[in-house]
């Protein structure tokens, strides 16, 4: 497919052509003397007390040089600088699109003001204002001992990222505070959360940038009804996180309102007030700030021009090698940390909603594969679940492992000569090696073909600062892949069609006897009719 305006498409790039040649004969990790200590040592990158070990990927120095050339040819770092500076990059040329800045990085860019561009500085100033407002608000709550519990009501990016980070940092939570989450419009979700709470000591933060998200508004109405039944005034318990001027920006209905802006995408919103109100309430404001500082530090690393100094860029290019040149459709992200139990769920949205696109930024259909299918669970649990398929199945699944040298709580025990944390890391390292080199055997049932590409991201300990770094690492990795593919990672048109059709079906539910509604969407009416057959 020829590019418009004289620009090369991804498959027309010189580096793409070189990588295509190299992919015809990829490195065989199962050969003796390939995965050596020297290779593991040499194929590692360090920054900000993180190490990315990629010797178990099917790459050679020649492949790495070609991948770095791909990053240069697509101006990946320049595009990242443009993004962080506040240029309008959320757009499709020549077609109706959101046409916005992408400035989630500005939500944590007010510590040393590295960005000199006016848009980024203004966004950072607004973010700092909201943080200061939140700090004052929480101090008043403390002074009056108003609430012990908080419920976050939101869906998608208003739930997945905030929930993942809160669960990841339970070791640092305030002992006098509890946080709960309601996201699914299934009424059982709310009922389960609310059944044991003292609502008189409970606050509710409702998160919707537009102030019109159907599931969130429905859940808000449901939760408000519980407060009314308990003889409480919901307006004295509810907090809004929304866009300024939205239908939810209403001081008569909310104890306080905190703002987010249209240049903050939902899946990139954790470090904004979307996650900030809940995280600062549950973990303490200082720990929330540490998350911001960590994310900011990794944002700066994403601006490094040399691939091996830029951890998100290196990971992005290794992922592109696996996706576009070795032909692997999925990616398993496996944290060897129970605290990160919901982090992969957040990364599913971050990656798949960002890069699950079939048109490029010129509006033309792509002729290559874009974002992978992302999934995973914490290790070692996964080893006793789906690793059988990963090791011996017919579909090769690349893996990204995440591990930590130390546990969060430090509560460990020496059992049979090693600690629990050492056993955890031993499993991580063993899986990485086993997937790469496999095992030869005369018994076909005990044969492992190997050449399952994987890499390991290591840090010392999962702290609020490290969590911010890890969040930013993945946000920037996903963005880099979009820059290189020249797709728009910052819109989500793919979620809109289902919403439109759901509203049509709701109209039928709302007026079962309305012939006009049925005739407007007969397929939806037929599905509703199936309910009548249930006893």
Instruction: Supply the residues annotated as catalytic.
Output: 353, 384, 499
517 Cβ neighbours under 8 A, 6+ residues apart:
504, 507, 508, 510, 511, 525
Report which of 408, 386, 402 is spatially closest to residue 474, judged by C-alpha positions. 402
* DSSP H helices in 255-383: 273-283, 285-301, 311-320, 343-355
Can you list the positions of beta strands (E) in 65-172? 88-90, 100-101, 149-153
DSSP label at 59?
-
Measured from the Cβ of residue 105, the count of other Cβ atoms closer than 10 Å reads: 29
195: tokens are: 């059944």
**232 vs 121: CA distance, rounded Å:** 42
Angle between helices 76-85 and 61-73 (to 10 degrees): 40
User: What is the gyration radius of the CA atoms in the chain, in angstroms?
Assistant: 25
Cα–Cα distances in Å, from 272 out to 128, 244, 366, 468? Answer: 10, 14, 33, 12
Contact 276, 295 (CB under 8 A): no
- Measured in residues, the chain has a length of 535
62 Cβ neighbours under 8 A, 6+ residues apart:
22
Measured from the Cβ of residue 124, the count of other Cβ atoms closer than 10 Å reads: 23
Determine phi and psi for 221, rounding to 5 degrees.
Answer: -60, -40
Report which of 209, 214, 491 is spatially closest to residue 353, judged by C-alpha positions. 491
């Amino acid at each position: 497919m020829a590019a418009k305006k004289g620009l090369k498409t991804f498959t027309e790039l010189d580096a793409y052509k070189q990588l295509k040649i190299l992919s015809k004969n990829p490195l065989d990790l199962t050969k003796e003397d390939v995965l050596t200590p020297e290779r593991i040592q040499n194929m590692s990158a360090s920054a900000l007390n993180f190490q990315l070990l990629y010797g178990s990927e099917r790459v050679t120095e020649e492949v790495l040089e070609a991948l770095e050339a791909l990053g240069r040819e697509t101006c990946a770092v320049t595009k990242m600088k443009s993004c962080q500076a506040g240029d309008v990059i959320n757009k499709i040329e020549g077609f109706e699109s959101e046409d916005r800045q992408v400035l989630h990085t500005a939500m944590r860019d007010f510590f040393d003001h590295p960005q000199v561009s006016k848009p980024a500085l203004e966004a950072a100033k607004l973010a700092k204002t909201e943080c200061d407002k939140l700090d004052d608000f929480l101090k008043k709550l403390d002074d009056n001992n108003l609430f012990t519990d908080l419920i976050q009501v939101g869906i998608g990016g208003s739930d997945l990222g905030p929930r993942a980070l809160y669960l990841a940092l339970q070791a640092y939570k305030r002992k006098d505070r509890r946080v709960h989450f309601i996201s699914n419009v299934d009424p059982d979700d709310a009922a389960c959360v609310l059944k044991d709470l003292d609502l008189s000591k409970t606050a509710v933060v409702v998160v919707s940038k537009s102030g019109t998200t159907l599931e969130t508004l429905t859940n808000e109405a449901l939760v408000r009804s519980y407060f009314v039944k308990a003889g409480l005034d919901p307006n004295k318990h509810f907090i809004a996180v929304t866009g300024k001027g939205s239908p939810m920006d209403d001081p008569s209905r909310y104890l306080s309102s905190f703002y987010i802006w249209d240049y903050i995408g939902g899946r990139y919103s954790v470090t904004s007030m979307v996650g900030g109100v809940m995280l600062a309430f549950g973990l303490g404001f200082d720990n929330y700030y540490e998350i911001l500082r960590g994310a900011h530090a990794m944002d700066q690393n994403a601006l490094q021009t040399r691939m091996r100094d830029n951890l998100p860029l290196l990971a992005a290019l290794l992922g592109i090698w696996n996706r576009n040149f070795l032909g692997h459709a999925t990616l398993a992200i496996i944290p060897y940390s129970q605290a990160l139990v919901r982090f992969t769920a957040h990364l599913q949205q971050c990656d798949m909603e960002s890069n699950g696109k079939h048109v490029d930024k010129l509006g033309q259909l792509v002729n290559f594969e874009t974002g992978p299918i992302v999934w995973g669970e914490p290790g070692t649990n996964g080893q006793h679940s789906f690793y059988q398929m990963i090791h011996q199945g017919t579909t090769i699944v690349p893996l990204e492992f995440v591990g930590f040298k130390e546990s969060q709580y430090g509560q460990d025990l020496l059992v049979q000569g090693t600690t629990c944390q050492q056993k955890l890391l031993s499993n991580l390292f063993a899986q990485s090696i086993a997937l790469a080199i496999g095992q030869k055997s005369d018994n076909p049932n005990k044969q492992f073909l190997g050449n399952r590409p994987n890499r390991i991201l290591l840090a010392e300990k999962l702290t609020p600062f490290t969590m911010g770094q890890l969040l930013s690492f993945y946000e920037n990795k996903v963005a880099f892949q979009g820059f290189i593919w020249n797709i728009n990672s910052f819109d989500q048109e793919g979620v809109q069609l289902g919403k439109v059709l759901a509203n049509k079906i709701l109209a039928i539910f709302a007026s079962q006897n309305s012939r006009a509604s049925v005739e407007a969407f007969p397929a939806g009416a037929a599905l509703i009719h199936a309910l009548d057959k249930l006893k």
